[in-house]
Amino acid sequence: VSEAEEARQALRAGLYHRGWGTWLGAYDPLTHALLPESLALSLRLLDTRDGTLLEVAKVKSWKNGVPDPQVTMGPHSHVDDPLYTETNVTWRGVELCVQSMADQDGGHLTWLA
């Protein structure tokens, strides 16, 4: 392998994300993917009063000009540090702050709500 090829491979390896992160970003901040293994876990909310399941990525409804649910990235988002994220969700009168923490080697993922 040539020196130029080694440099290309090193650069390519540095471009790929590894470990747990919310790589889908604002599209679905409650889904965490483990890369490069291609495993994803999604946190979903269930309203037990009527059985409605909230899947953030599929929400396209608006009520009185306001998105329902309201999902905002907290001060710590996937862009800043994929090892710690904070997402705020307001849905059906309930406000949640969902935080996630992961270790660098991808061995552990913890959600707090």
* In the predicted structure, residue 28 carries a pLDDT above the cut 70: yes
Nearest alpha carbon to residue 101 among 14, 1, 21? 21
Q: Is 98 helix (H, G, I), strand (E, B) or coil?
A: strand
Quick one: 99 exposed, middle or buried, by C-beta within 10 A (0-12, 13-18, 19+)?
middle
Q: Is the pLDDT of residue 8 over 60?
A: yes
Q: Would you state the pLDDT for residue 91? A: 85
CA 31 to chain centre: 4
Mean pLDDT for 42-67 is 76
pTM over the 0.85 mark: no
Place of tokens 């009520």: 63
Over range 46-73, report the average pLDDT: 75
Please give the average per-residue pLDDT across 63-91, as a whole number: 73
Question: pLDDT value at position 21?
Answer: 76
Helix or strand holding residue 46 (H, E):
strand 45-47
pLDDT at residue 101, rounded to an integer? 86
